[in-house]
Amino acid sequence: MFTPKYPPQDTAPPPTAIQPQTTPPAPAVQASSATAAPTAAVSNRPTIQLTPGSALALAAGGGAVVLVVGAVLVSLLLAVAITGVSVAVVAVVLRLLVKDLHKH
């Protein structure tokens, strides 16, 4: 139950190197009869290349996200604290009123 589940291995064939032609090129042949050269297998995994500018933008974006999330969490904590203090004040006032009613 707690063992990690690994994704299946990539089943794409390894890329093959294109061998240079050792025979001299044939004279001009019509395009319709020419055969296409074999191409290397293309991986289905996207490649991500970070330039210094994009890395800086990514870091700035991450910093902005951290600041916004921090501001939201601090405001929520402040709202809870203010609510707690106001409930405590109301409880003290109600206690005094009930105590005053029992005396008279």
Taking the domains of the chain in order of start, what are their residue ranges? 72-104
Q: Which amino acid is at 99?
A: K
Contact 11, 41 (CB under 8 A): no
DSSP H stretches of helix in the chain? 52-103
pLDDT tens-digit map of 3-42: 888 777 777 676 676 766 666 656 655 555 556 666 666 6
Contact 42, 16 (CB under 8 A): no
Q: Which pTM was predicted?
A: 0.45
* Separation of alpha carbons 2 and 27, rounded Å: 66
pLDDT tens-digit map of 75-103: 999 999 999 999 999 999 999 999 999 88
